[in-house]
Amino acid sequence: MGAVKVDTEKQTRAYEVKYALNDVAGVKALLRDRHRIAERRFRGDTAASDIIIDLHSAIESAGLTERQAEAIAWVYGRDLTQKTAAAIMGIAQQNVAAAVDRAAEAIASVFKRWEYGEITVEFEVDDEEAA
């Protein structure tokens, strides 16, 4: 007969994610993960609150066009695909991608002006979530 190994104590794994806020890829990664970071505020993580507040301030300071702000809101705020966001906005998917890219560039330039470098956020994932 075979044996089944069952972990009776729920295991969690912690990992760190680094976001280089002075470049476009880092800003996009932070926008993508902002919901998970925002959740941490409710567990007493004050650094998560600071990150979210700074992100919103950077978005407000970036001088985004209405189309860029709308594209960011649909793609990162509502977690829609660019294709779905394009259908809602009545434009082509390529235009949504371009608006998101320009918005991320503008947000990154705000973080550069503020002399932000890299931030690190630690996440905990349950083994069930990872599977």
Q: What is the CATH number of the domain that holds 44?
A: 1.10.10.10
Segment 110-131 mean pLDDT: 78
Per the structure, the count of domains in the chain is 1
For the stretch 109-118, pLDDT in tens is 999 999 998 9
Element (H, E) at 39: helix 24-40
Does 91 map to a domain? yes
Does 1 map to a domain? no
The structure's pTM equals 0.82
Average pLDDT, the chain: 88
CA 95 to centroid of chain Cα atoms: 21
